[in-house]
Amino acid sequence: CVVIGDFWRVVCVVIEGISSVHLVQQHYQHEFLPVLKDRYKVIPISGDAGEERFFFANFVKENDVVICTAQILQNALIHQSEEKHVEMTDFTLLIIDECHHTHKNGVYNKLMEEYLIKKLRGERNLPQILGLTASPGTGRATSMEKAVEHIMQVCANLDTWRIMSHNEQSNGPAAVTKQPEKQYDLVSERAQDPFGDELKMLMLRIHEFLGDPDFPFSEFGTQTYEQKIVEMEKEGVVESNRKKRTCALHLRKYNDALFIHDTVRMIDAFRHLDRFYSEEKITRPLTDESERFLLWMYDGERDRLQDLANDARYENPKLSKLEDILRDLFQSSSDSRGIIFTRTRQSTHDLHDWIQGNAGLQAIGIKTAPLTGAGQSNQTKPMTQNEQLEVIERFRKGHLNLLLSTSVAEEGMDIPQCNIVVRYGLMTNETSMIQARGRARHEESRYSFLAQTGSKEMRREITNETLEGLMKQAIKRVQNMPEREYLQQIKELQKESIIERQVKNQRKDDLKGLFNPDDVILHCKGCNTAVARGSDIRVVENSQYVNVNANFKVYYKVSATSIVFEKKMDGWSPGRSVRCHCGQNWGFEMIYKNATLPIVSIKNFAIQTPESRVSGKKWKSVPFAVEDFNYSQYCQENLLDLSDDDD
Ligand SMILES: *[C@@H]1O[C@H](CO)[C@@H](O)[C@H](O)[C@H]1NC(C)=O
Ligand SMILES: *[C@@H]1O[C@H](CO)[C@@H](O)[C@H](O)[C@H]1NC(C)=O
Ligand SMILES: *[C@@H]1O[C@H](CO)[C@@H](O)[C@H](O)[C@H]1NC(C)=O
Ligand SMILES: *[C@@H]1O[C@H](CO)[C@@H](O)[C@H](O)[C@H]1NC(C)=O
Ligand SMILES: CC(=O)N[C@H]1CO[C@H](CO)[C@@H](O)[C@@H]1O
Ligand SMILES: [Zn+2]
């Protein structure tokens, strides 16, 4: 709850994280607008891709509360043109959501570094900072001392005057929130596992085929094995060893099947493998000896595998445990709501499928849907943001009462209260544990951790519980520090990080002064032809590097059509792609006002200085200075000024 007095200028709420774009809308609709709309102008600026981000500075002038992603604010703070620039001092209050991300090289820390420099310089009228988090994390600390250090560092980064926590304001609304009851729902390993054993036998046969008959059986189905297989596949590529590469690929599918077998039903594991082989049959040439062997072996065992997968006696014990938990809850109360967190997108779908087919669970009115991320993935189709919102809306309205989710819903999605949260066979860390539990906010709610007894997941959960305790104590310690000592230490840490940054910047400047740009030659990475000098390069608005030498044209060819970006760019648009005559990709054209300039990506070039030759990585770290692009100068030199020159 934020009280906005008449003395406020603009309040800026910044948000970061995987689904931040999403969250901006959510915060706007559900939290800020209902409370503030009668008296204040509130605006969400969410599109990291939409055009509205170019007008951020105007929105700041015309509104009282701005809700945006951290990146949009950061871009406006460093923008050089006056009409797009905003100052820290344009705001009176900066609310930083999930502020435990204010660490290391994250965008929150970039915002705060600027702020701290200004503050230590004695600048007045800086905004007040309000950071919000359910858990500041311990930065992997394993001792009290380190945990305190970590929290002090986050406090220094955020210029924290005081940490306030729930239990302090014992009559505030937050104090009413009850911690959900946590329970460990543990199951033992299957006593007999003929389906898993069969998969492992087949894997061993592949190792025999590869000439390694003594491979340890016990490694199959582990993460260590997965890493070995990935290595093996790489070796196969490097050595052009087709047999090795093909077998590694197949072994990986079997290992995936073992993971699935460990998480959901045997039939899900079987289907995964079977889909793979059906596709292989269609797409692979059967002239390859290894392919032929692997297909033949699978075909010979397929029916047996399928029979074993359908034998209910050996089904995954986690599922019957989950069934008990769900029955217990949904039978007693028809308006229960729950979330099950699981690791992969595929397993959200498999669990959904299992519940759909379970007559008992259907009878007590459980209605589920998967909720997964929007990013790309090979396994299953990503959900669009609209699809995510739709699922959440149906859940809110009660058309659904159980979400099956990957970690997307742990943090940063506005999901209604639940009275059961199950972390289903999930590796944890202390932040995600607290975040997930935060979803169970109903009276009498329950937080269940379901895993196999003695498993890695369970050990991790327990250690992290210890860490959570450590963190709480560490926060207490920081809160109880005498004020003078606390402020003194914060100031020291702030000074240190600013000095650290200056040293870093100095190093960058030193690097830039190393060579005269005229003495640096860029060679195409593909054919080694010398094609440009450092002095031909200009940087446009601090981000795009172009070659302004008119003669550069002779070295490259362009594609027939322009490339298309999903996101609109500010003040320019992409043109055709640019390639060396040898075929090496270099970059693409930038159409900037009336000029067309080739953007060159330095990683496609080798940099020859008078002293050495290195391969290019990032423009920001080249050993010479790059001048800013000057449009009017460019037009004069190329006689462009008033004529539309499309060439
Ligand atoms: C996803 O597909 C790409 C290309 O098809 C491949 O290089 C990558 O390894 C795949 N990732 C996973 C996790 O399978
Ligand atoms: C903890 O888990 C969350 C989500 O699962 C992830 O975003 C975060 O990076 C993890 N933190 C650490 C320290 O690994
Ligand atoms: C850009 O070039 C023009 C004309 O050559 C010059 O007058 C102007 O000062 C230059 N601008 C900057 C920022 O260097
Ligand atoms: C581009 O050229 C046209 C004339 O062809 C001129 O009217 C316009 O002002 C030029 N644009 C810029 C931004 O210089
Ligand atoms: C001590 C311990 O095992 N803690 C774990 C808590 O979670 C983090 C993040 O996943 C792990 O890195 C830690 O090892
Ligand atoms: Zn070339």
Res. 524: pLDDT tops 50: yes
Check pocket membership of 594 for ligand 4, CB cut-off 6 A: yes
Closest ligand to the CA of 633: 3
pTM for the full predicted model: 0.62
Q: Write out the residues surrounding ion ligand 6, Cβ under 5 A.
A: 524, 526-527, 580, 582, 584
Any atom of ligand 3 within 6 Å of the Cβ of 632? yes
Q: With bands split at pLDDT 50, 70 and 90, how would you rate the model's confidence at 448?
A: confident
Q: Is the CB of 80 under 6 A from ligand 3?
A: no
Start-to-end CA distance of the chain, whole Å, equals 57
Phi and psi at residue 312, in whole multiples of 5°? -60, -20
- Cα–Cα distance measured from residue 26 to residue 23, given in angstroms and rounded to the nearest whole number: 5
Q: What is the CATH number of domain 179-188+316-468?
A: 3.40.50.300
What pLDDT does residue 169 have? 47
Count other Cβ atoms within 10 Å, centred on residue 383: 20
Q: Is 410 in the pocket of ligand 2 (CB under 6 A)?
A: yes
Which range scores top for mean pLDDT: 250-264, 331-345, 437-451? 250-264
Give the separation between CA 413 and CA 422, rounded to whole angstroms.
17
Q: Residue 440's CB: how many other CB atoms inside 10 A?
A: 25
**Position 192: which residue type?**
Q
Condensed to tens digits (0 to 9), the pLDDT of residues 59-104 reads 888 888 898 888 888 888 988 788 889 999 899 899 998 898 888 8
**Residue 109 CA, ligand 2 centroid: distance in Å:** 18
- Nearest CA residue ID for atom 8, ligand 4: 642
Q: Provide the 8-state DSSP code for 31.
A: I
The full DSSP string for 272-328 is HHHHHHHHHHHHS-TT-HHHHHHHHHHHHHHHHHHHHHT-GGG--HHHHHHHHHHHH
pLDDT on residue 217: 82
Cα(530) to centroid(ligand 6), Å? 9
Between CA 199 and CA 255 the distance in angstroms is 9
Question: 281 CA distance to ligand 1 centroid (A)?
Answer: 20
Q: What is the mean pLDDT of residues 125-130?
A: 90
Domain-wise residue ranges, the chain: 10-165, 179-188+316-468, 194-314, 517-638
Which pLDDT belongs to residue 72?
85
Q: How far is the CA of 633 from the centre of ligand 3 (A)?
A: 6
Beta carbon of 643 within 6 Å of any ligand 4 atom: yes
Question: Are 28 and 4 within 8 A, CB to CB?
Answer: no
Mutate to test the pocket of ligand 2, among 343, 426, 432 (most ligand atoms within 8 A of CB): 432
Cβ–Cβ under 8 Å, residues 65 and 43: yes
Chain segment 41-66, per-residue pLDDT in tens: 888 887 655 667 778 888 888 888 89
**CATH among 3.40.50.300, 3.40.50.12160, 2.30.42.10, 3.30.420.40 for 10-165:** 3.40.50.300
Q: How open is the CA angle 34-40-43, to the nearest 5 degrees?
A: 75
What pLDDT is attached to residue 172? Answer: 44
Radius of gyration of the chain (CA): 29
Residue 65: closest CA among 19, 2, 20, 124: 2
Distance CA 362, CA 29 (A): 34
Which architecture characterizes domain 517-638 according to CATH?
A: Beta Complex (2.170)
Residue 581 has a CB neighbour count (10 Å cut-off) of: 14
Q: Give the pLDDT of residue 149.
A: 92
Quickly name the fold that domain 194-314 has: phosphoenolpyruvate carboxylase, domain 3 (1.20.1320)
Domains 10-165 and 517-638 share a fold: no
Q: What does the alpha-carbon distance between residue 511 and residue 470 come to, in Å, rounded to a whole number?
A: 43
Are 232 and 210 in contact, with CB atoms under 8 Å apart?
no
